[in-house]
Amino acid sequence: MRKAIIEFENFSFKYDAQQEATLQEIDLTIYQGEKVLIIGPSGSGKSTLGQCLNGIIPNIYQGTKTGNIRIDGKDAFELSIYEKSLFVSTVLQDTDGQFIGLSVAEDLAFALENDVTPLHEIRERIDFWAERLDLRALLHHRPQDLSGGQKQRVSLAGVLIDESPILLFDEPLANLDPKSGQETIELIDRLHQEQGTTTIIIEHRLEDVLHRQVDRIVLVNEGRILYNGAPDPLLRSGLLGENGIREPLYLTTLRQLGYDLEQEAAVTSVEQLTLADVQVEALPAFVVEEKVDSPLVEVRNLRVAYGDREVLKDVTLSIRRGERLAIIGKNGAGKSTLAKALCQFVEVSGEMMWNGQSVAADSIKERAGRIGYVLQNPNQMISQTMIFDEVALGLRLRRVAEEEVTEKVEAVLRTCGLYAFRKWPISALSFGQKKRVTIASILVLNPEIILLDEPTAGQDQRNYTEIMDFLDDLNRQGHTIIMITHDMQLMLDYSDRAIVLVDGQIVAAAHPAQILTNQDIIEAANLKETSIFHLAEKLGVDALALTQFYMERERKE
């Protein structure tokens, strides 16, 4: 008989700072050794579920609860954070916020040192987990200097070393490039199988998590459980789209082809599909429509170095007025540095032209009037306590009349799905909601180029679509949109051209579909083929043509 290790019984929870309960009448049992994926739109309550398990609630965030939570038969709200840590280990979405030690080895040792573990045992366990997670060569590095995938492995080792029976992952893929994300899911699955841990994953990127099998999916919205069961029935239903979750790309493409998914017994991967009756009409030949507008920005022989380390190497590119440009590549390739160079946040050598005129003598303020930059980490941009004040700050610094400030801020907050929270403190928001606040604070200033670093990280489909459709509206009004992204679907749906960076150099600049069907570029840049590519292989049709078919249908819809 299976042992229940986590039990929610008619459980509700309301934060002291809020009027309504975030979790309502939750009944959920997770059994020892299960692998469970929890999904839901931003603000649905899924992160609150996780915080009730790892002790952040009620030890840091207080509130009122009814019903019960038991972990391994013990009342979770009666356990201290230390006692809970013996049961539940958490890997956060922001790995930088989890590091303690000055080196990887120190970081791995931290939990054991707090448990007063003998020194020889600490060394043995560090060696064991460094070997298991391929960290031996990194033990003397600073965690902050590592790539995104390496940081994720260090965070994972830091919790595994404590050997807790439950592993909780809070959006582990949010800041990883496609290949590193895939490798992380493979690593989580391997450790789950080998260690026999109970594994709980809270994540927006459903298709990426389903790269490896999960036992159950729990769909949460508005604080309630809407689905709790095997993946296949959920994927065949319309519940994902109705609740702001993106379904796998191959399923969307099959629906566009008019295929009835109910005739498939298993749909969690392309390999499981039979596709017996798929009718694929003659796909149109692939055509690239080039932007004919004159270049707005031209960069020539751009170089950026941090000390002795050259990050950008002789970069030359042009950005046309009104285009939607994606900048992609693996973690550490130089994408964010290129963005900072365009905004003059870092010292550069080389030449940058704006409408044919050099801007080398521009101040940061003058450059900011042309390019609005939304950082990847929202905590690095936020300086105000309240949401409305944060979005209004730029306008107020420009001495805009308060009546006009209110009008513009409220309009942008509606667009970004934040109007209902306009009087909230920012501290009460999730990571994804904070991200929307920072986007709103830039959008309200109406710059000619809007440059966004990972604009959709941590966003559900509804908020993702609202933000990107708004950016598309701005693009139609003449704004140029530049996005640094690891989200290949975003690149397909919302960009005209993609620039691929590898080790500080541009290795390709082409239509998104051409990028994602080129094996050499995919391998060099740590990308991965979309599931449309694998679907095309199974159907025996051209992957480039099928990708364009998907893009055209998606944009029409």
Instruction: Note the pLDDT of residue 292.
Output: 60
If asked whether residues 232 and 365 sit together in one domain, one would say: no
Residue 483 domain-assigned (yes or no): yes
Q: What is the arithmetic mean of pLDDT over 164-183? A: 85
Give the least confident one: 15-29, 40-54, 144-158.
144-158
If asked whether residues 238 and 321 sit together in one domain, one would say: no
pTM of the prediction?
0.82
Note the pLDDT tens digit of each residue in 250-262: 999 999 998 999 9
Q: What is the arithmetic mean of pLDDT over 457-472? A: 78
pLDDT of 97 > 90? The answer is no
User: What is the span of the domain harbouring residue 146?
Assistant: 4-243
If asked whether residues 202 and 106 sit together in one domain, one would say: yes
Q: Burial-class residue 275 by CB neighbours within 10 Å (0-12, 13-18, 19+).
A: middle
Residue 264 domain-assigned (yes or no): no
Note the pLDDT tens digit of each residue in 131-143: 888 888 889 888 8
If asked whether residues 215 and 78 sit together in one domain, one would say: yes
The token pair that represents 129 in the structure block: 């987990």
pLDDT of 431 > 80? The answer is no
If asked whether residues 117 and 208 sit together in one domain, one would say: yes
What is the C-alpha separation between 94 and 144, in angstroms, rounded?
A: 12
pLDDT of 46 > 80? The answer is yes
pLDDT of 378 > 80? The answer is yes
- How sure is the predictor about 391, in pLDDT bands with cuts at 50, 70 and 90? very high
Give the least confident one: 197-211, 216-230, 357-371, 434-448.
357-371
The DSSP annotation for 103-136 comes to SHHHHHHHHHHHTT--HHHHHHHHHHHHHHTT-G
Which of 228, 243, 258 terminates a domain? The answer is 243
pLDDT of 449 > 70? The answer is yes
- How sure is the predictor about 291, in pLDDT bands with cuts at 50, 70 and 90? low
Note the pLDDT tens digit of each residue in 224-259: 999 999 999 999 998 998 998 989 999 999 999 989
What is the C-alpha separation between 246 and 269, in angstroms, rounded?
A: 15
If asked whether residues 170 and 57 sit together in one domain, one would say: yes
Q: What percent of the chain has pLDDT over 70?
A: 98
What is the C-alpha separation between 323 and 293, in angstroms, rounded?
A: 9
Residue in this structure with the two tokens 């939607």, named with its chain if needed: 324
Q: What is the arithmetic mean of pLDDT over 459-473? A: 79
Q: How many domains does the chain have?
A: 2
If asked whether residues 177 and 238 sit together in one domain, one would say: yes
Name the DSSP letter for residue 315: E
Q: What is the arithmetic mean of pLDDT over 510-525? A: 91
| CATH code (residue 188) | 3.40.50.300
The token pair that represents 455 in the structure block: 């604009």
If asked whether residues 225 and 355 sit together in one domain, one would say: no
Residue 254 domain-assigned (yes or no): no
Instruction: Note the pLDDT of residue 210.
Output: 95
79: alpha, beta or left? (left if phi > 0; alpha if psi -120 to 50): beta
If asked whether residues 233 and 316 sit together in one domain, one would say: no
Give the least confident one: 94-103, 227-236, 487-496.
94-103
- How sure is the predictor about 532, in pLDDT bands with cuts at 50, 70 and 90? very high
Is 207 within 8 Å of 43 (Cβ atoms)?
Answer: no
Residue 287 domain-assigned (yes or no): no
If asked whether residues 234 and 302 sit together in one domain, one would say: no
Instruction: Note the pLDDT of residue 401.
Output: 94
Q: What is the arithmetic mean of pLDDT over 60-74? A: 92
Q: What percent of the chain has pLDDT over 90?
A: 44
Which of 207, 224, 243 terminates a domain? The answer is 243
Residue 420 domain-assigned (yes or no): yes
Which residues, other chains included, contact 321 with Cβ-Cβ below 8 Å and sequence gap of 6+?
293, 294, 295, 296, 478, 480
Residue 270 domain-assigned (yes or no): no
Which of 178, 210, 243 terminates a domain? The answer is 243
Q: What is the arithmetic mean of pLDDT over 415-437? A: 84
Q: What is the arithmetic mean of pLDDT over 305-310? A: 86
Instruction: Note the pLDDT of residue 179.
Output: 84
If asked whether residues 304 and 184 sit together in one domain, one would say: no
Instruction: Note the pLDDT of residue 29.
Output: 97
Name the DSSP letter for residue 356: T
Note the pLDDT tens digit of each residue in 273-283: 998 888 787 77
Residue 551 domain-assigned (yes or no): no
What is the C-alpha separation between 249 and 531, in angstroms, rounded?
A: 6
Residue 277 domain-assigned (yes or no): no
If asked whether residues 407 and 521 sit together in one domain, one would say: yes
